[in-house]
Amino acid sequence: MKRMKGGAFLLESCQPEDVFTPEDLNEEQKLIAKTTDEFIREQVFPLLEQIEQQNFSHTVRLLQEAGELGLLAADVPEAYGGIGLDKVSSTLITEKMAQGRSFALSHGAHVGIGTLPIVFFGTEQQKKRYLPALANGKKLAAYALTEPGSGSDALGAKTTAVLQEDGKHYLLNGEKQWITNSAFADLFIVYAKVDGEKFSAFIVEKDFPGVSTGPEEHKMGIKGSSTRTLILQEAQVPAENLLGEVGKGHLIAFNILNMGRFKLAAGTVGTAKRVLELAIKYALERKQFKQPIASFPLIQEKIATMAIELYATESLVYRTAGVLDQGLSGVEQKQGQEVAKAIGEYAIECSIAKVVGSEMLDYVVDEAVQIHGGYGFMSEYEVETHYRDSRINRIFEGTNEINRLLIPAALIRKANKGELPFFARAQGLQSELMNLMPTLPDPQAAPLTLEQEQINHAKLLFLFVAGQAIERYGTKLTEQQEMIRDISDIALSIYTMESTLLRAAKQQNQSKPNATSHLQFAEALIYNRMQKLEQIARHTLTALFTGDTLRVQLAILRKLTRIEPKNELQLKRNIVKQLLKAKKYIVQSRS
């Protein structure tokens, strides 16, 4: 596999052999997925109702059981009591766990934002002291960044840390808000400003003097997870519990978010699979007008579209897992900061996955409720919980707005550092575009040939729109948030389309039995996104130009987003057959 730089997918082409797909899992990875799946279905499912009532003793005991199975140890190096698995395996664990709703959030917060700061930035001593117990579940972790006055603007935190005169303790003062796992966490990663200025991170044990938590919040969803304030009143934290360097807390916070975002996306795949299964089974059982509602084309279309969107996220999540593993190959696991840096290279991909995954899941749960009709509005139906639980994903780990703002900024930073040839490519683009000749559809051509060309055009479109916006506004582009959002959305679409295309093409190249089915999913997804791209780009171009110049730019836009008409109605009717037959999400053409 060829290794690509972060964000390079926007500028370069990528081959099917270079991407990882869910069809490439090896035996160990399949077994890891199976163990997780069985653990959730057999141990967690029967207790979900009680967990929903905040019976946290179940959560804690199940996390310890998960620890015994090794399900908390994937991202912890062997040297510190973990298993140090590849990122594909750790993605699979997150995906399968996600079916466990609130329990999955408790798990995710512990293994992700709770444990990883120590894995990446802990000193040798801190790692030896804390990681073995975190990896086996004897101790549970939480992450305390947010405050009442600072959410998205995390660096605006007011919590302070002052080193006492004897140099042995920091005194922390402040209040952290909405801290997942706070009811039962043994330790918190807390961000505070040393001397009110230097943003820094600390490992704070719950039993340190001056540490307490507030009452449980009443939430819209994920009700079975614990969310409280963390109160620090003259909290005494030993000096050796400073995590990383004074004033370098932002590095920790931002690096942790990359994995946090990626894991969130992996979770949306698992939840969406569960929800789609619920929706399909319900549609097959519920009869109206003397037939199962699954026989109505409008219901079938919903199921097909949900599955296509899920396929797309699944493709891009596993592609990204593969990209992370490539980036990490050759990096010594024990060198936490090196690992964090290698992952940070793919911050753009992690943000994209977070946004795409959370929006996919919200779409899927919404349609699943719709398929359930009034029953979907009733709490006895599992789908009702999923509908409420899903909503948080667009808010935490950086709101989707914040993530959309980050993507172009990260790209421009890389371009300025000379890591990506963005400006070189953007130059001379105009003449390239003027001379662009559309290729005509060739019935003899291999499947996905047209789609591949459309994606190439979408990449040109990205350069074109982003290039024009930067040329016009320069560093002031940050004020044009709508344009940045548009540019992000183009990047999102490209990564989504290309990940589905490469996955389907890989099955095709390897003559896999289900390749035809993959082709259908990819074609449907790309057809949909190409149409949206035109709208998105038009929105920004129309704000950048007027009159004749605008007309010329829009003509280029039309050339770049030209697609052959496709009978989408029929395509979806074909796709839905396998889903109804299997009674769950499946990419299969055996029949």
Partner 1 sequence: MEILICMKQTFDTEEKIFIQNGEIDDDGVERIINPYCEYAVEEGIRIKEAHGGTVRLITIGGAEAEAAIRTAMAMGVDEGYRLDLTDFPADSDEQTTSECIVQLIKQKQIPYDVILCGYMSIDNGTAQVGPRIAELLGIPHISTITSLTVDGRQVQVERDVEGDLEKVESSLPILLTAQQGLNEPRYPRLPDIMKAKRKPLHRMKWDELRVDVQMIQARTKKVAILPVEEKETGQILSGTIKEQSQELIRLLHEEAKVL
Ligand X SMILES: Cc1cc2nc3c(=O)[nH]c(=O)nc-3n(C[C@H](O)[C@H](O)[C@H](O)COP(=O)(O)OP(=O)(O)OC[C@H]3O[C@@H](n4cnc5c(N)ncnc54)[C@H](O)[C@@H]3O)c2cc1C
The catalytic residues are: 397
How many CB atoms sit inside 10 A of residue 576's CB?
22
28 binds partner 1 (CB under 8 A): yes
The SS3 call for residue 286 is coil
Residue 178 binds: one of partner 1, ligand X, none (C-beta under 5 to 8 A by kind): ligand X
Report, in Å, the least distance between residue 38 CB and partner 1: 5
The distance of closest approach from Cβ of residue 104 to partner 1 in the complex, given in angstroms and rounded to an integer, is 17
Query: Cβ(448)–Cβ(524) under 8 Å?
Result: no
Helix H, strand E, coil C: the string for 88-142 is HHHHHHHHHHHHHHHHHHHHHHHHHHHCHHHHHHCCHHHHHHHHHHHHHCCCCEE
DSSP secondary structure of 359-410: HHHHHHHHHHHHHHGGGGGSTTSHHHHHHHHHGGGGTSSS-HHHHHHHHHHH
Enter the tokens of residue 8. Answer: 């390079």
* Residue 216 vs 338, nearer CB to ligand X: 216
Stretch of residues binding partner 1 (CB under 8 A), selected from 70-78, 126-134, 178-186, 466-474: 70-78
Q: How far is the CB of 502 from partner 1 (least distance, A)?
A: 20
Separation between Cα atoms, residue 522 and residue 530, nearest integer Å: 12
To ligand X, the closest distance from the beta carbon of 587 in angstroms equals 33
d(Cα 117, Cα 123) in Å, to the nearest integer? Answer: 11
Q: Which among partner 1, ligand X, none contacts residue 34 (Cβ within 5 to 8 A by kind)?
A: partner 1
Closest to partner 1 by CB, 64 vs 514, is 514
Written as one letter, the residue type at 315 is S
317 interface partner picked from ligand X, partner 1, none, CB below 5 to 8 A per type: none
Smallest separation, CB 112 to ligand X (Å) = 10
Residue from the set 44, 74, 264, 426 that interacts with partner 1 by CB under 8 A: 74
What 214-220 contacts at long range (C-beta under 8 Å, 24+ apart), as own/partner pairs, is 216/54, 216/183, 217/178, 220/388, 220/391, 220/392
Q: Is 38 in the site for partner 1 (CB under 8 A)?
A: yes
Stretch that binds partner 1, among 65-73, 187-195, 276-284, 376-384 (CB under 8 A): 65-73
Per CB under 8 A, the list member of 68, 245, 285, 482 interacting with partner 1 is 68
418 burial type by CB count under 10 A (0-12 exposed, 13-18 middle, 19+ buried) = exposed
Neighbour-count burial of 160, counting CB atoms closer than 10 A to its CB (0-12 exposed, 13-18 middle, 19+ buried): middle
Tell which residue, 305, 364, 319, has the closest CA to residue 525: 305
Choose from partner 1, ligand X, none: what does 418 bind? Cβ within 5-8 Å by kind.
none
As measured in angstroms, the least distance from the Cβ of 271 to ligand X is 15
Residue 149 vs 513, nearer CB to partner 1: 513
Q: Which residue is nearest to ligand X (CB)?
A: 151
Q: How many CA atoms lie within 13 A of 49 on its CB side?
A: 5
Considering the rule CB under 8 A, would residue 79 count as an interface residue with partner 1?
Answer: no
- Residue 516, interface with partner 1 (CB under 8 A)? no
| 69 forms part of the interface with partner 1 (CB under 8 A) | yes
Q: Which is nearer to ligand X, 216 or 301 (CB)?
A: 216
Question: Which partner from the list ligand X, partner 1, none does 392 bind, CB cut-off 5 to 8 Å by kind?
Answer: ligand X
| Cα(360)–Cα(499) distance, integer angstroms | 15
* Single-letter code of the amino acid located at 456: N
Query: In whole angstroms, what is the distance from residue 72 CA to residue 108 CA?
Result: 9
By the criterion CB under 6 A, which residues form the site for ligand X? 109, 143-146, 151-152, 178-180, 219, 227, 392, 395-396, 399, 401-402, 481
Least distance (Å) from partner 1 to the CB of residue 477?
Answer: 46
Q: How far is the CB of 114 from ligand X (least distance, A)?
A: 8
User: For ligand X, which is the closer residue by CB, 144 or 355?
Assistant: 144
Residue 563 to residue 345: CA distance in whole angstroms:
33
Q: Report the residue from 71, 179, 383, 497 that binds partner 1 according to the rule CB under 8 A.
A: 71
- Out of ligand X, partner 1, none, which partner does residue 109 contact, by CB within 5 to 8 A per kind? ligand X
Rounded Cα distance, 1 and 26, in Å: 16
Q: How far apart are CA 163 and CA 172, in angstroms?
A: 9
Name residues whose C-beta falls within 8 Å of residue 586's C-beta, 6 or more positions apart in sequence. 578, 579
539 lies in the site for partner 1, by CB under 8 A: no
Among the listed residues 240, 161, 156, 226, the one whose alpha carbon sits nearest the alpha carbon of residue 196: 161
The yes or no reply on residue 83 touching partner 1 (CB under 8 A) is yes
| Contact status: 207 vs partner 1 (CB under 8 A) | no
530 binds, among ligand X, partner 1, none (CB under 5 to 8 A by kind): none
The interface partner of residue 198, options being ligand X, partner 1, none and the CB cut-off 5 to 8 Å by kind, is: none
CB 346 within 8 A of CB 258: yes
Contact status: 35 vs partner 1 (CB under 8 A)? yes
Binding-site partner at residue 71 among ligand X, partner 1, none, CB < 5 to 8 Å by type: partner 1
Place of tokens 């496709």: 566
Q: Does 198 bind partner 1 (CB under 8 A)?
A: no
Question: Bridge partners of 228?
Answer: 179
Does residue 109 interact with partner 1 by CB under 8 A? no
Nearer to partner 1, 92 or 203 (CB): 92
Binding site for partner 1 (CB under 8 A): 27-28, 30-32, 34-35, 38-39, 68-71, 73-74, 83, 85, 512-514, 581, 588, 590-591
